[in-house]
Amino acid sequence: MAPITQLSQLDPNGTYSYADYLTWQLEESVELIQGKIMAMSPAPNRKHQRVSGNLFLHLGNHFKHKSCQVFVAPFDVKLYDRRKSLLQDREVFSVVQPDLCVICDQEKLTEQGCDGAPDWIIEILSPSNSRKEVRLKYDLYQECGVGEYWLVFPYEQIVQQFVLDDGGKYQLRALYPDNETAAPHLFPDLQIDLNDVFAE
């Protein structure tokens, strides 16, 4: 069978697994959400990259020499229902590349990325992010048990902080503007000055 090198070779209405994803040789970056192909935005713009870099500096310094590790895209995260144990690649239908993620369970780390839900995911929105994409990821991260999820809006300079409650549903815990210090619920000793994060 000919190698898959172009998105046009794939059926946009088809359902694909992580095993399929591993065989593709695409120039474009894609994610799989419940088996459906999601083409990622073009290369992030300067503002997105600056915010991502500033956040990575804060997180990297905080988690240095600690058991939790921070990773920045591109970094494959395989996701599946948290009630299921480790799955074969052909049984996994969601793989995403969050802008940043923090993983404390070292057993989830593989040569390819992360096998299972990170503890904390941060996504930085770009003008090209669709509402559908945002909603799909919100639902996926909730279903798979990502304990904390931040949505960062670089142009509005705000951060939405969602935390899983005891029933496994996200609750909006805080809405941080750029003049405040944000602290993750899971790591309250990490204080992030959003003035620094959004600084030009």
Evaluate whether 162 touches 171 at the Cβ level (below 8 Å): yes
| CA triple 144-146-147, angle to 5 deg | 135
Determine, yes or no, domain membership for 19: no
Evaluate whether 185 touches 163 at the Cβ level (below 8 Å): yes
Determine, yes or no, domain membership for 81: no
Determine, yes or no, domain membership for 153: yes
Amino acid at 42: P
pLDDT band at 128 (very low <50, low <70, confident <90, very high): confident
Whole-number mean pLDDT of the chain? Answer: 92
User: Is the pLDDT confidence value at 38 over 80?
Assistant: yes
Evaluate whether 123 touches 152 at the Cβ level (below 8 Å): yes
Determine, yes or no, domain membership for 177: yes
Number of domains in the chain: 1
Distance of CA 4 to the CA centre of its chain: 25
Tokens found for residue 128 = 């090209």
Determine, yes or no, domain membership for 51: yes
Please state the rounded mean pLDDT for residues 170-188. Answer: 97
User: Is the pLDDT confidence value at 46 over 80?
Assistant: yes
Evaluate whether 197 touches 180 at the Cβ level (below 8 Å): no
pLDDT for 129 equals 74
Range of the domain at 150: 46-74+96-197
Q: Which residues pair with 30 in a beta bridge?
A: 39
Q: Report pLDDT digits (tens) over 6-21.
A: 999 999 999 999 999 9
Q: Report pLDDT digits (tens) over 107-121.
A: 999 998 999 999 999
Q: Which CATH number belongs to the domain containing residue 146 in this structure?
A: 3.90.1570.10
Distance of CA 1 to the CA centre of its chain: 32
Nearest to 95 by CA among 79, 114, 81: 79
Determine, yes or no, domain membership for 150: yes
Determine, yes or no, domain membership for 190: yes
- Which H or E element spans position 76? strand 76-79
Tokens 């602290």 belong to which residue?
A: 183
Please give the Cα distance from 71 to 69 (Å, whole number): 7
